[in-house]
């Protein structure tokens, strides 16, 4: 499970542990910028072509919240489009048809979120061109942003259909809305230059988390200077946080990113492919109705007879079979996400032998289900 994707090097990597220990010896929080904060931002700018400026925050939730506020401030508009099954943290305005924990619990939203908080949120189906066209047809001059996971990884793993992200880019350009990529999961995990580069679609704002903080509480948002300069103190869109870009998290993030090269992602994708192929064999050999999705270094499974391309199809999967699979895997010493609506992550600490052990356990689990 790798801490829901944050632990790309594996747990307690010695260089990350050492970096955090050295940083802690200097002080855990200053409430002021540090050189590590600058260095981490410079790496993000260097690796992500669409990012010229960066703002560090403490969580993916904060990053999504700030991105929405920034888009509204930059465009002077109120409405935000999100996609059913995509999760962007526990921001009130975005807790509508969200994936992840809400999907696991079968909750359409959350108590405590007022009707007013979601009045400007438009929810459409992922991978549905007609739905996004209809949203822009009705509200085109009111939409500030389209917020999307470029690879949906919180309703299980659902890659964007060919041409879909390009279509979102086109519609945003036509209507003056900003395209926001939530790369909290995909950022620095699916490739050296993140998902935007691998998919060939340029967002206006990108959100990063998990890997970029090295397993400590840190996230970031970034984009062109013309957009980012709307944030205070240069612009009128306020954002602040005492612990944003704190010394421990930036030290961990720097240590992790220093270890990741282009070859690292080749190896991660090779491992992910080995796992995906093994899981497909487990389903096929045992006659279990299951689907295996892969997007670069990410894997996901659905207990469904057909391919899953949206949230409704994900929810229609056999969650009871997944629960049986989870417990059987756990009994074999393999810890996968307990929810059917999450993603599988390999790390650079994994070996072929360990992947093969996972696949063997999956065969046994599928036999028990049958």
| Cross-strand partners of 222 | 54, 206
Q: What is the DSSP string of 359-370?
A: HHHHHHHHHHH-
d(C-alpha 356, C-alpha 360), whole Å: 6
The count of residues in the chain is: 370
Alpha-carbon distance 312 to 124, whole Å?
11
Burial 192-227 (b: 16+ CB within 10 A, else e): bbbbbbbbebbbbbbbbbbbbbbbbbbbbbbbeeeb
- Where do we find the tokens 């949230």? 311
Phi, psi of 228 (to 5 degrees): -65, -25
Q: Please say whether the beta carbons of 275 and 359 come within 8 A.
A: yes
Tokens of 50: 């669409």
Q: Taking a C-beta distance cutoff of 8 angstroms, is the pair 267, 53 a contact?
A: no
Tokens of 272: 């992910």
Among candidates 244, 205, 239, which has minimal Cα distance to 222?
A: 205
| Distance (Å) of CA 345 to CA 16, 285, 315, 350 | 19, 23, 21, 10
Catalogue the active-site residues.
87, 182, 210
> Residue 281 in contact with residue 361, Cβ under 8 Å?
no
Centre a 10 Å sphere on the Cβ of residue 166 and count the other Cβ atoms it contains. 13
Contact between 265 and 191 under an 8 Å Cβ cutoff? The reply is yes
DSSP element (H, E) containing 158: strand 158-159
**Is the CB of residue 142 less than 8 Å from the CB of residue 79?**
yes
């Amino acid at each position: 499970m790798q801490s829901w994707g944050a632990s790309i090097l594996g747990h307690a990597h010695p260089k990350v542990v050492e970096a955090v220990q050295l940083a802690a010896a200097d002080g855990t929080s200053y409430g002021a910028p540090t050189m590590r904060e600058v260095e981490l931002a410079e790496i993000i700018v260097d690796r992500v072509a669409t990012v010229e400026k960066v703002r560090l925050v403490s969580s993916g939730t904060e990053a999504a919240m700030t991105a929405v506020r920034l888009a509204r401030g930059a465009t002077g508009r109120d409405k935000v489009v999100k996609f059913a099954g995509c999760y962007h943290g526990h921001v009130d305005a975005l807790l509508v048809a969200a994936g992840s924990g809400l999907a696991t619990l079968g909750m359409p939203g959350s108590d405590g979120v007022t009707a007013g908080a979601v009045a400007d949120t438009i929810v459409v189906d992922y991978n549905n061109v007609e739905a996004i066209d209809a949203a822009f047809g009705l509200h085109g001059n009111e939409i500030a942003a389209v917020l999307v996971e470029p690879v949906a990884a919180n309703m299980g793993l659902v890659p964007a259909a060919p041409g879909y992200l390009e279509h979102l880019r086109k519609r945003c350009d036509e209507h003056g809305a900003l395209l926001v990529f939530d790369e909290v999961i995909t950022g620095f995990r699916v490739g050296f230059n993140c998902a935007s580069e691998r998919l060939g679609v340029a967002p206006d704002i990108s959100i990063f988390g998990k890997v970029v903080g090295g397993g400590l509480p840190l996230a970031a948002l970034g984009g062109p200077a013309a957009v980012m300069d709307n944030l205070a103190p240069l612009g009128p869109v306020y954002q602040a946080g005492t612990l944003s870009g704190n010394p421990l998290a930036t030290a961990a993030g720097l240590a992790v990113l220093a270890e990741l090269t282009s070859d690292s992602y080749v190896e991660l994708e090779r491992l992910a492919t080995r796992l995906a192929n093994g899981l497909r064999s487990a389903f096929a050999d045992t006659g279990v109705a299951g689907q295996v999705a892969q997007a670069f270094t990410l894997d996901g499974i659905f207990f469904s007879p057909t391919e899953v391309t949206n949230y409704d199809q994900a929810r229609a999967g056999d969650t009871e079979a997944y629960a049986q699979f989870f417990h059987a895997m756990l009994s074999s010493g393999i810890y996968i996400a307990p929810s059917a609506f999450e993603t599988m992550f390999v790390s650079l600490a994994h070996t072929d032998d360990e992947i093969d052990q996972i696949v063997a356990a999956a065969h046994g689990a599928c036999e028990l289900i049958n």
